Amino acid sequence: MKIKNICCIGAGYVGGPTMSVLAQKNPDIKITVVDINQDRINSWNDENLNDLPIYEPGLKEIVNEARDRNLFFHTDVEKAIDEADMIFISVNTPTKTYGKGKGMAADLKYVELCARQIAKVAKSDKIVVEKSTLPVRTAQAIKNILDNTGSGVKFQILSNPEFLAEGTAIQDLLHPDRVLIGGEESPEGKEAIDALVEIYATWIPKEKILTTNVWSSELSKLVANAFLAQRVSSINAISELCEVTGADVNEVSRAIGMDSRIGPKFLKSSVGFGGSCFQKDILNLVYIAKTYGLHEVADYWEQVIIMNDHQKRRFADNIVSTLYNTVSGKKITFLGWAFKKDTNDTRESAAIYVADALMNEQAEITVYDPKVSEERIYEDLDYLGTRSPEENRKLLKVVKEPYEACNESHAIAILTEWDEFKEYDWQKIYDSVIKPAFIFDGRKLLNPKEIKEIGFEYYAIGS
């Protein structure tokens, strides 16, 4: 079966970049990305490629090449579903904020709505691909909805989890370690898998395209993220030990990472992991384990999150105790708000929680982030619901210039590892801040020797 027309529901961090690369590599397939959010679609269609709704290095060049050739963005979801042979579901699956599984299970309401919409509109057979991260057995739920339409239309459901990381999405899509496709073990299932394999095989070597059953594929995605997050929590646990023993966590990371059985990646100690996936996927894994009564399994993975929360909290606590146990009325500058560099995404960013803790102590925070908008920062704080939107705006200011952000500050906290922070004129910053001049480096980004020579009191995670 040769696919000619693809629809992707959801024009977010996953759907947008993934479909852009798919379109670039398959110019003979028409790809339509749809979203209910009109503003988002308008931004994807913006003449000015610097105004795309998400920032990813290399993305705008690809959108420029494929857009209006075989890549289209619009809001007419039903028309796109109707015309497609293959439909990717790439909508958000946040952690539930209500009811059973609150704070743990994934909220599948958006996915279910998509399935129902596909069921309503489809007049010809279709392959439905789950791209969003979903709990194990979601494909079965989608299948149940689609198989009960009474329209006689046949659906094949594939699981094709996305492993791209934000900030490197385009490189990850162009050169993935592997592509995973799960499908039904029947001739029709095999045919659907092959159709998707062909699309990826236009640029990815076939030996990197793994095919499995649906459940293995769904579970592998959760497990991959859980393992990665576990490495970060493991090294963060050691960072605290380093601080009290006089060891340096970077040196420990390097020493253990050279063991080829351990490997060097994901051993960078930080103020805590963020992002839309790690916490959500682990909570999901924990929830599934608990549902099946596997309490030891659930507790084991939950500890990764407990450690991460501890790391964020102790970073904030250290700022308070170092500033003579009071930050009330003091200006604290945050360099960085995004959950990692090279993205404007802030979901679950450590910065949000550190800011919240310091604002509870009545600190006055000034934030500078090269890519995150002021609106986004206030939305993140308002979403926590700790205090009123007015109070959030009173206690926290967002500025567009780093030197202005640091001016007359009692302390500078580095929350995101943006490269530009390394290039700043730190002597100039030193001259403009209140003394003693404190820096709390949550990313171990700056050169301690140079910074201390200038005169700063410098605290870095893990040393």
Binding residues for substrate: 162-166, 221-225, 261, 268-274, 339-340, 443
Closest CA to 284 of 107, 70, 53: 107
Q: What is the rounded CA–CA span in Å between residue 449 and residue 307?
A: 29
Of 20, 92, 160, 270, the one binding ligand ADP (CB under 6 A) is: 92
Angle between helical axes of 278-291 and 214-245 (0-180°, round to 10): 110
Give how far Cα 460 sits from Cα of 148, 233, 289, 443, 455, Å.
57, 17, 36, 7, 15
Report the site for ligand ADP in 14-53 (rule: CB under 6 A). 14-15, 34-37, 40
Beta bridge partners of 183: 213
Size of interface with ligand ADP, in residues (CB under 6 A): 21
- Please, what is the minimum distance in Å from the beta carbon of residue 276 to ligand UDX? 7
Q: What is the rounded CA–CA span in Å between residue 396 and residue 33?
A: 36
Q: Which two tokens stand for residue 417?
A: 């590892």
SS3 187: helix
Q: What is the rounded CA–CA span in Å between residue 268 and residue 459?
A: 16
Per CB under 6 A, 13 contacts ligand ADP: yes
Beta bridge partners of 180: 210
Q: What is the rounded CA–CA span in Å between residue 259 and residue 25?
A: 37
HSE at residue 377, side-chain half, CA atoms within 13 A, is: 27
Per CB under 6 A, 31 contacts ligand UDX: no
Per CB under 6 A, 135 contacts ligand ADP: no
Active site residue 277: yes
Q: DSSP string covering 266-312, please?
A: T----S---SSSHHHHHHHHHHHHHHTT-HHHHHHHHHHHHHHHHHH
Give the range of 136-144, 151-159, 260-268, 361-369 binding ligand UDX by CB under 6 A: 260-268
User: Which residue ranges make up the annotated binding site for NAD(+)?
Assistant: 10-15, 35, 40, 91-95, 132-133, 166, 277-280, 347
Choose the one of ligand ADP, ligand UDX, none that binds residue 91, judging by a C-beta under 5 to 8 angstroms depending on kind: ligand ADP
Q: What is the rounded CA–CA span in Å between residue 37 and residue 184?
A: 33
Size of interface with ligand UDX, in residues (CB under 6 A): 19
User: Which residue ranges make up the annotated binding site?
Assistant: 10-15, 35, 40, 91-95, 132-133, 162-166, 221-225, 261, 268-274, 277-280, 339-340, 347, 443
Give the range of 2-10, 46-54, 196-204, 273-281 binding ligand UDX by CB under 6 A: 273-281
Per CB under 6 A, 132 contacts ligand ADP: yes
Of 273, 337, 456, 459, the one binding ligand UDX (CB under 6 A) is: 273
Nearer to ligand ADP, 222 or 461 (CB): 222
Nearer to ligand ADP, 228 or 332 (CB): 228
Please check whether residue 362 is in contact with residue 395, taking contact to mean a CB–CB distance below 8 angstroms: yes
Q: Which two tokens stand for residue 98?
A: 């209500």
- Please, what is the minimum distance in Å from the beta carbon of residue 443 to ligand UDX? 8
Q: DSSP string covering 54-96, please?
A: S--TTHHHHHHHHBTTTEEEES-HHHHHHH-SEEEE----PBP
Choose the one of ligand UDX, ligand ADP, none that binds residue 225, judging by a C-beta under 5 to 8 angstroms depending on kind: ligand UDX
Choose the one of ligand ADP, ligand UDX, none that binds residue 110, judging by a C-beta under 5 to 8 angstroms depending on kind: ligand ADP
* Length of the chain (residues): 463
Site string for ligand ADP, 268-307 (x = CB under 6 A): --------x-------------------------------
Phi, psi of 5 (to 5 degrees): -140, 120
Per CB under 6 A, 257 contacts ligand UDX: no
Selecting among 7, 8, 242, 277, the annotated active-site residue is 277
Q: Which two tokens stand for residue 398?
A: 């967002």
Report the site for ligand UDX in 355-414 (rule: CB under 6 A). none
Please check whether residue 158 is in contact with residue 181, taking contact to mean a CB–CB distance below 8 angstroms: yes
Nearer to ligand ADP, 10 or 402 (CB): 10
Angle between helical axes of 109-121 and 138-147 (0-180°, round to 10): 30
Q: What is the rounded CA–CA span in Å between residue 420 and residue 402?
A: 10
Nearer to ligand UDX, 81 or 91 (CB): 91
Give the range of 5-13, 79-87, 264-272, 376-384 binding ligand ADP by CB under 6 A: 5-13
For residue 312, the tally of other CB atoms under 10 A from its CB is: 25
Of 164, 222, 335, 352, the one binding ligand UDX (CB under 6 A) is: 164
Binding site for ligand ADP (CB under 6 A): 9-15, 34-37, 40, 77, 90-92, 110, 113-114, 132, 276
Binding site for ligand UDX (CB under 6 A): 162-166, 225, 228, 232, 266-268, 270, 273-275, 277-278, 339-340
Active site residues: 277
